[in-house]
């Protein structure tokens, strides 16, 4: 037997610190904008109409849906990578200041003795260490204690609960009895998994889960109540207990160079191709290829991806559905598939704003709370 590391005090910023150096993190620190109250009300009504009209809706979530749980995002004004860039600028300024000070000292022919210079260097190092510690303290937010937000709970409810009776006139097939049919997340915080109503079969996790380790042999997943300490699909030190497998478990957290998990990625593509509407919540859509999934809800994006030749039936697994090409004439229902486009709810601009059917600038929780009322779920859906 081996000792299990106590990792429940690893903080949210610790995940970002574990990632390898990567310079192309996209635009960080862009200003946040808010729609006026009147504009927001109108847009939420439009969104409710789109959801009622859609027979198949997929939701793509990003870090912005978890900020109200105390987990910082990455590119927001107070995001982890935004602060990282600010710290780098401050460090560069500090180094320039120190260099200028040395030049001045040399020009004065080092009037101070060596001991004084050494004390001054120690003071500079102490200030730098204090600044690093203060920044680290700001990031001391644990994934373990974080709880699902209103948005997490609302999405699970929309997947698990049929549309209210008032929306029956919008039902065109069995699947349209639900407002949301599949959820795709780029988040690693595990908050979707903490939402009891959301089954794993309706959730695609693209960048891993900090609470999940898996067996690469039999593909069994293990959800823990503590954070997994490794990153980059590395061995965790535990072993599979599924029958006689005993495979070495690995973490599911992707580092920059790691490929997306095949099953979840294939499922994501198929689900988005099937979607008439894609709702993008709290994501900057700047990490590819996940960011480009929203375009599959447009006729142009659907055809550009060659999705009109995919087998989008419910038979078979996602991998076969997404890769299987049709022979001969394409199915009529796919060539004429209805597309309502995609909706973005995010405070910052994204690279996909221009082609969106609707862009809402508001906090995601505020939008979802009002949307649930508009869709007819009443005030007791969250009890």
Residues sharing a CB contact under 8 Å with residue 61, sequence separation 6 or more, in sequence order: 151, 155, 183, 184, 185, 186, 187, 192, 281, 282, 283
Six-digit token string for 74: 């990455």
Decide: helix, strand or coil at residue 20: coil
207 as an active site residue: the answer is yes
> Do the Cβ atoms of 29 and 79 come closer than 8 Å?
yes
φ/ψ of residue 22, rounded to 5:
-150, 115
Residue 198: Cβ within 10 Å count = 21
| Helix residue ranges, H only, 109-261 | 114-138, 150-160
> Do the Cβ atoms of 247 and 200 come closer than 8 Å?
no
> Do the Cβ atoms of 142 and 9 come closer than 8 Å?
yes
Residues sharing a CB contact under 8 Å with residue 314, sequence separation 6 or more, in sequence order: none
- CA separation for the pair 159, 235 (Å, rounded): 34
Cα four-point dihedral sign 126, 131, 135, 140:
positive
Q: How far apart are the first and last CA of the chain?
A: 43
Beta strands 212-214 and 248-251 are antiparallel
Q: Which residues of 3-16 are buried (b: 16+ CB within 10 A; e: fewer)?
A: eeeebeebbbbbbb
Residue 107: Cβ within 10 Å count = 8
> Do the Cβ atoms of 204 and 267 come closer than 8 Å?
yes
What are the beta bridge partners of residue 359?
A: 344
Catalytic residue, from 9, 157, 207, 219: name it. 207
Q: Tell me which residues are annotated as active site.
A: 207
């Amino acid at each position: 037997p081996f000792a299990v590391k106590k990792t429940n005090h690893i903080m949210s910023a610790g995940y970002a610190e574990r990632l390898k150096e990567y310079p192309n993190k996209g635009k960080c620190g862009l200003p946040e904008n808010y729609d006026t109250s009147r504009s927001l009300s109108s847009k939420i009504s439009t969104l409710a109409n789109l959801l009622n009209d859609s027979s198949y809706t997929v939701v793509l979530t990003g870090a912005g849906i978890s900020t109200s749980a105390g987990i910082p995002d990455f590119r927001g004004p107070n995001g982890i990578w935004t602060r990282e860039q600010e710290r780098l600028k401050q460090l560069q300024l500090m180094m320039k200041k120190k260099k200028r000070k040395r030049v001045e000292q040399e020009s004065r022919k080092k009037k101070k003795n060596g001991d004084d210079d050494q004390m001054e260097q120690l003071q500079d190092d102490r200030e730098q260490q204090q600044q690093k510690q203060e920044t680290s303290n700001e990031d001391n937010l644990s994934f373990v204690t974080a709880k699902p937000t209103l948005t997490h709970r609302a999405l699970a409810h929309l997947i698990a609960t049929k549309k209210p009776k008032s929306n029956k006139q919008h039902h065109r097939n069995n699947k349209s009895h639900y407002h949301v049919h599949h959820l795709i997340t780029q988040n690693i915080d595990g908050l979707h998994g903490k939402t009891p109503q959301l089954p794993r079969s309706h959730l695609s996790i693209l960048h891993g889960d900090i609470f999940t380790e898996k067996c690469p042999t039999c593909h069994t997943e293990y959800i823990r109540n503590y954070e997994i300490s490794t990153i980059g699909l590395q061995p965790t030190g535990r072993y599979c207990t599924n029958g006689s497998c005993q495979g070495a478990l690995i973490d599911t957290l992707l580092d920059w160079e790691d490929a997306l998990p095949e099953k979840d990625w294939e499922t994501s593509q198929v689900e988005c191709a099937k979607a008439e509407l894609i709702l993008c919540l709290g994501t900057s859509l700047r990490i590819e290829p996940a960011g480009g999934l929203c375009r599959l809800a447009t006729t142009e994006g659907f055809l550009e991806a060659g999705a009109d030749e995919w087998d989008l039936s419910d038979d078979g697994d996602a991998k076969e559905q997404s890769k299987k090409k049709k022979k001969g004439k394409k199915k009529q229902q796919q060539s004429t598939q209805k597309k309502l486009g995609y909706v973005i709810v995010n405070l910052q601009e994204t690279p996909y704003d221009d082609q969106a059917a609707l862009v809402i600038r508001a906090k995601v929780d505020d939008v979802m709370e009002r949307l649930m009322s508009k869709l007819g779920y009443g005030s007791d859906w969250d009890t």
